[in-house]
Structure 1
Amino acid sequence: MSLPFIHLHPDPAAKLYHQDPGCPTLSTPATDDQRISRDDAEAAGLTPCAACRPMVLVRVGTRRVAFHSDHACADLQSRETKCIGYEARPRAEAAAALKLKPCARCVPPVTYAVRGGRQEVTREQVEIAAARSIPAHGTTLGQPVWYALAGSGLHWVVTLLEDATGKRPATATTARLALAELGFPVMCWAWNRDFLERGHPWNTAT
C-alpha cells in the first residue's frame, strides 16, 4: 500500500497543479489517473493553484480520530499497514464534517509577530510559496543575511513568510525562528570570521 499524494492533478494548459480534485478552476473534474507527484509537477514547470482547498490525509473507515497534514508524519507511516488505507480530503471537511482533530505528531502551524498582531502559517503554505518564488542566487545572496532552505532553493526568511501568508514578519529574527520551528533549515550568509563566530549583529537577538 502506498500513501496517496496530497498534491494530485496536473493542469498543463493553465501551467498549474491542483491539490484539490474538486477545485473550481479545473475545467473538468480531476480523476485518479491524473495523479502526479509535486516534484514531477514542478519539474514540468507547473506551479500550485492558489484556489485549491488545503488537503489532508484521512484514514479510510470509521476507526479514525485525527487527520494528517504532514505527509511524512511518523504515525501515518507506522500505521499504514494496519488499516485499509488513507485518502486525501479537504482539511475543512475533515475537521467539521468528519469531526477529526489535527494529528499531534504532524508539524503544527506556528505564529509569528507582524505589525499589529500575530499571523499563523503552516509548513505547507511555506512550501507552496517557495515553489512559486525564485530562489536566491549569485547576484542576490549576501544582501539579506538569513535564508531558509525550502524545496530545492534558499529563500530570504522575511520574504518567504510574507509570500506564504501576505503578512510581513516584524523582524528577520521573528521570521527565522518561525521557519525553524516548522522544520526548515535556516542559515546565515556569513562572509567573515566574526560573522561565523558571533552571527550578524542585527539578527542574532533571540
Structure 2
Amino acid sequence: MNEIKIKALKGRIWITAKTRMQAEKRYRLYDVVSHIYLCLLSFLAICLGVFSEYIHQDFPLSEVSIVVSVFIFGASIIVFGFSFGESAVLQRECYLRLQKAEGEDEVEYEKLHNIYCDINSSYPNHSTADYEFFIVERTFWHKKSIEYYSYDGKIVLIDWNWQILLSVIGRSAFFLAIMILPPVTFIAVFMIFRN
C-alpha cells in the first residue's frame, strides 16, 4: 500500500513540476515582452519629438507626448513591481527541487509528502492557466499522454477538453490583443493626422 501511495505522490510531484515549468515560461515571456514593449513606447515618444514637423498641425502633439510619457512611466513602475524575471527564477528553483524530490528512491511516503509540502509552501503558487497550458501543450499539441497513479492504485489519465482548450485560446488571444491593439491604434491615429 505504501508503494502505491508513493507512486501516486510522485505523479503529483511530476505534474506540479511540469506546471511550474510552464509558469517559468510564462513569466519569462512576460518579462521579455514587457521590456520590448517599454522600449517600443520609448521609441514612439522619441519619434513624436523628432518627426513633429511631419504631423498635421491639428494633431494634439504635446498632449499625446505627455500621455505617452506618463504611460511609459506608469508601465515601467508596474513592470518593475511585477518582477517577472524574479518570478521566473523562483518557479525554476521550485521545479528543480520538485524534480529532485521525485527522483528520490527508497523514500518513505510521509517523508516525501513532507518534502513536497515544504517545497510548495516555500514558493509562490502557479496559476490555473499554467496547468491548463501544460495539459493542452502536452496532450493536444504534442499528442502525449499524462498519466499518474491515484492513491487507490488506479491509473488516472489527464487529457485536454474543449473547456480547457478554449480557455487557453482565449487567454492567448487576450494577451495578443493587449500587445497589438495599442500600437495599431496609435499608428491609425498617426496616419489620420499626418500631413
The structure whose RCO (Cα within 8 Å, separation 6+) is larger is: 2
Relative to the length of structure 2, the TM-score reads 0.23
Please say which structure displays the higher CA radius of gyration. Answer: 2
Q: TM-score, normalised by structure 1?
A: 0.22
The answer to which structure has the higher helix fraction is: 2
Task: Give the strand-richer structure, 1 or 2.
Answer: 1
